[in-house]
Amino acid sequence: MKNETINYPEVTNERYRLKYHITAPAGWMNDPNGFCFFKGYYHIFYQHHPNSTQWGPMHWGHSRSKDLVNWESLPIALIPGDQEDQDGCFSGSAIVKDERLYLIYTGHNLKDKNDPDSYWQNQNLAVSDDGITFEKFAGNPVISIPPEDNDADFRDPKIWFENGKYNIVIGSKNKDGLGRVLMYNSDDLEHWDYLGPIATAKSVDSEGFVWECPDLFEIDGQDVLVMSPQGIKADKLKYRNFFQTGYLTGKFDEETHSLHHGEFTELDYGHDFYATQSMVTPDGRRIIFAWMDMWESPMPEQEDGWAGALTFPRELNMKNGKLLMTPVEEIKKLREKVLLDITKPKDTTTIFEAPTKSFEYLGNFDGQENVSVKIKNSDNKLLIEVSYQAVTGKVTLQKYNDDLLRETNVSVANKLDIHLLMDNSSAELFMNNGEACFSERVYDEKELIVETSSDSTNYDIKIYELGGTM
């Protein structure tokens, strides 16, 4: 691998640093990559520009954990600049073969160094025996060009092993300008056969022009393609972010390699959620991470020498055709002390002045009553508010720096649960066991206040302080 002296920006202030979420020690980060389990550790990599707080030539940053919640930062795993990845090691995934850890990633190469819009992309391998030091494969690229009907966008291979073959899906744009996902398979990781597009956007406005970061898997008897399409037009309260992340569900046809699917559905309705990647744990749970930011989001931590975070790892499940996300159960290991424990309070409103900015809120409500949870600062400034309308099941999120609401629905039942993870500059909301999720970066240097209101006093709240190693 090319040698490079990394010049990290100086971290001048830790006011926004998250305590139990993965962030880069310094410099920029975006998508999670290479999520896997190898020799007793979970590994997660991420798109990383260590030399600046802005996106730039992509490296792979790296962390590992024995339990999904206490993470250790490791040296940079991939550095760009070799023949096949001259201008970036873009997103990709990981697989274990013969007790070695293989990364498959996209090489990003500019045709003209002064024109970021003219490039070619290919797929490459790197391998490690210890899960720390990686060597690029001498035979790179393993896929040198996209199929003939493809545009330049050809990236983000997601790998899995099934029916005796290695399989990958790759994000793409076809020559008609439509987003799609391509599939390949291989016996040995080095030689790949093209199997065709598994799904293609109906139109740019409705389904986008590049489908980034695809992830195809079966869950609870359904085939699901999670991906991040660029270019879907906002439609009332849907698709409000610059780009979205969501999924198609249906049936994957093994003969034709195509996914017969329904409508695109957003996975998280917050402002800061993009480019997911999932894996199955040794005990059979499918866990997903996302980049907890969005391209157009303000990132004031850039002034402090770093930028970006990953979401808390979430377990995926399917219920009534909907993908649900809930924080992994290992969160219990981070609980340090109970800060609040109330059952059926006297007042309909409960105000909690948080002594820490890293905490977990578990609220159980009567689903037949309206509920709202507000996060304010100690000057009473509203930072975010989530509200639930009992009659319709409508859930709305309002954020301080955005006039646009975010909205979705949960099914109305006798019970409503709200699970909220706060971590210094982030808020992740899970309602009704993950039926509605909102991921947000929230920047405020003052102390936080949580104000819960319901139409009745028929609710309970438990709040834990959370620790962490980050």
Which residue lies nearer to ligand FRU by CB, 90 or 459?
A: 90
The separation between CA 61 and the C-alpha centre of its own chain, rounded to angstroms, equals 15
Contact 5, 268 (CB under 8 A): no
Which residue lies nearer to ligand FRU by CB, 19 or 108?
A: 108
Q: Considering the complex, what minimum distance in angstroms separates the CB of residue 213 from ligand FRU?
A: 6
Q: Considering the complex, what minimum distance in angstroms separates the CB of residue 449 from ligand FRU?
A: 34
Which residue lies nearer to ligand FRU by CB, 245 or 356?
A: 245
Residues interacting with ligand FRU, by CB under 6 A?
Answer: 30-31, 47, 58, 90-91, 106, 155-156, 171, 212-213, 274-275
Q: Considering the complex, what minimum distance in angstroms separates the CB of residue 275 from ligand FRU?
A: 4
Give the pairing of strands 71-78 and 371-377: unpaired
Q: What whole-number distance in Å separates Cα of residue 47 and Cα of residue 287?
A: 19
Tokens linked to 195: 């199997």
Q: Considering the complex, what minimum distance in angstroms separates the CB of residue 194 from ligand FRU?
A: 20
Which residue lies nearer to ligand FRU by CB, 116 or 355?
A: 116
Which residue lies nearer to ligand FRU by CB, 20 or 247?
A: 247
Q: Considering the complex, what minimum distance in angstroms separates the CB of residue 265 from ligand FRU?
A: 19
Q: Considering the complex, what minimum distance in angstroms separates the CB of residue 46 from ligand FRU?
A: 10
Q: What whole-number distance in Å separates Cα of residue 255 and Cα of residue 442?
A: 47
* Cα distances (Å, whole numbers) of residue 271 to 132, 241, 244: 33, 6, 9
Q: Considering the complex, what minimum distance in angstroms separates the CB of residue 381 from ligand FRU?
A: 31
Which residue lies nearer to ligand FRU by CB, 156 or 440?
A: 156
Q: What whole-number distance in Å separates Cα of residue 225 and Cα of residue 270?
A: 20
Q: Considering the complex, what minimum distance in angstroms separates the CB of residue 291 from ligand FRU?
A: 7
Which residue lies nearer to ligand FRU by CB, 136 or 155?
A: 155
Give the residue numbers annotated as catalytic, written as ranges.
Answer: 31
Q: What angle do CA 415, 418, 419 make, to 5 degrees?
A: 135
- SS3 per residue for the chain: CCCCCCCCCCCCCCCCCCCCCCCCCCEEEEEEEEEEEECCEEEEEEEEECCCCCCCCEEEEEEEECCCCCEEEEEEEECCCCCCCCCEEEEEEEEEECCEEEEEEEEEEECCCCCCCCEEEEEEEEEECCCCCCEECCCCCCECCCCCCEEEEEEEEEEEEECCEEEEEEEEEECCCCEEEEEEEECCCCCCEEEEEEEECCCHHHHCCEEEEEEEEEECCEEEEEEEEECCCCECCECCCCCCCEEEEEEEECCCCEEEECCCEECCCCCCCEEEEEEECCCCCEEEEEECCCCCCCCHHHHHCEECCECCCEEEEEECCEEEEEECHHHHHHEEEEEEEEECCCCCEEEEECCCCEEEEEEEEECCCCEEEEEEECCCCEEEEEEECCCCCEEEEEECCEEEEEEEECCCCCEEEEEEEEECCEEEEEECCCCEEEEEECCCCCCEEEEEEECCCCEEEEEEEECCCC
Q: Is the peptide bond preceding residue 75 cis, with omega within 30 degrees of 0?
A: no
Which residue lies nearer to ligand FRU by CB, 55 or 352?
A: 55
Q: Considering the complex, what minimum distance in angstroms separates the CB of residue 57 from ligand FRU?
A: 10
Which residue lies nearer to ligand FRU by CB, 106 or 454?
A: 106
Tokens linked to 67: 């339990």
